[in-house]
Amino acid sequence: EASPPPHPRAETKKLAAMGQGQKRGRAPETEATTCFGTSKKPAASLEPLAPVTPGRVPVYVMMQLDWMADSGGDLRDASKLEKQFEALKLAGVRGVMADVWWGICEPSPGSYRFGAAQALCGLLKKHGLELQATMSFHQCGGNVGDPVTIPLPDWALSVAREKDMLYRNGSEHVSEDCLSLSSDRVCAFPGPAGPRTPLDCYREYMAAFLAACSNHVGTTITEMQVGMGPCGELRYPSYMLSRGWNYPGVGLVMSDDSGMRAMLKTDTGLADLPAGMPQDQNAMPDAAPIFKADTEAFRSGEPKAFFEWYSKVLLDHGAALLTEGAKAAAQSAPSLALSVKVSGLHWHVMHPSRATEACAGYNSCTHDLADAYGDIAAMIAKAAKTAGRPIFFNFTCLEMTNVDNNGNPQTSSAPEDLIAQVRRACIRHSVPLSGENALEFDLATGGWAFERMAKQMRGWSPGRDKMHALTLLRLNDNFVKRESLLELGKFVAST
């Protein structure tokens, strides 16, 4: 996910200790161990938590990135998950989202290890929880909030390195987050029956996952998110924390691999990228001639042609992956919903160039009616109609407001305006909108975040503007403490 500055945390009051012993009017303290851990609280506060009746918008919780063992054969800590799932169910949570890592689960071409996924489904079924399964065709590591490293499968990454099938800017800024979309239909990757294209690899992986978990598809597994790029998102890896990116840099255009260059020339006649592109991923928009507000070079000539092509081939890539996801699910999972994750690139939204989005492949700048999110929603709507199944538009940064960056005006940040643009696009194209918060927060003191997200979820609405679902980051020990669960339960009930 993107790296906006930390959110302001709620103020907490410190109570001074005055004297020793029990104070008048204060309930005696008792130590108790429950499924929420051991805590020393007034006795009245240790009463069992009552089950929560959920509101109109279901709430899910995103699991830790390393929930599966390194072998892919089992859960990393089943006993801990057992307690956490028990607590989540009590708080009214609908289920969890979990990454099913390509780099772990297909260690050799066509050989799959989904034992961990099967065990997870069994545990979720036991507690009456659902799974949003993310097909993670990207690496873990090098991005905000990545505490572990899980690279692409060696057999795929080695081919991509050798054949220049990784996104790059020049020769130095190379991303190993995912394969370049230019390789989608290149038959160069090994398979059990001969060479495969990346699209073949993705489809066969999704089909194998659904087959391995067939007893849970449509009941426990209710959604399959199709990974489409870095962090699983439909975008280019334009900002690379592992290569020194810092917020609010606009990032870089990532289209220098030989396949992208060939596509550019074939589709537009351009033999090279237009002049004036960002050279420093930490630069502001006006530092790049192509994004300068006073000239708006991005609205005409070669710059306009380039950015419209750059976004179109990304949309085509998304559509192709959804087609493969639908094919994978056609026989074994007729009722399974699909989803697409779109990044909430909220910085420089107020600049005419919308440079951060443009570098990532979201074109809202080349003419007055340019609307990246309308284009994505239209693509999803078409894919859903063809597939005959719902496909959700999953958007991030739901807990952010336009005033979060009021002390840093150079960010030109406007997340609420961005969410509104996405919502209107989904309403217009009748695409269900799901959401996530961008950064983890302390649930026990996170009333500010819950209030903001409830506002965006619009659970009270009878129309298309009501969100389909919300997924919260991220399941951990603090997440299921009693104090956190009390606040989580209140939020779940209020949606």
Active-site residue set: 233, 436
- Rounded-to-integer distance, Cα 264 and Cα 317, Å: 14
- Which positions ≥6 away from 239 have C-beta within 8 Å? 2, 3, 245, 249, 250, 251, 252, 281, 356, 359, 360
- Which positions ≥6 away from 455 have C-beta within 8 Å? none
Question: What sign has the CA pseudo-torsion 150, 156, 161, 167?
Answer: negative
| 260, 169 contact by CB (below 8 A) | no
Euclidean distance between the first and the last CA atom of the chain, given in angstroms as a whole number: 25
φ, ψ of residue 283 in degrees (nearest 5): -75, 160
Beta strands 166-169 and 173-179: pairing type? antiparallel
Identity of residue 198: P
Cα 452 to the center of its chain, rounded Å: 19
Count CB atoms within 10 A of the CB of residue 351: 22
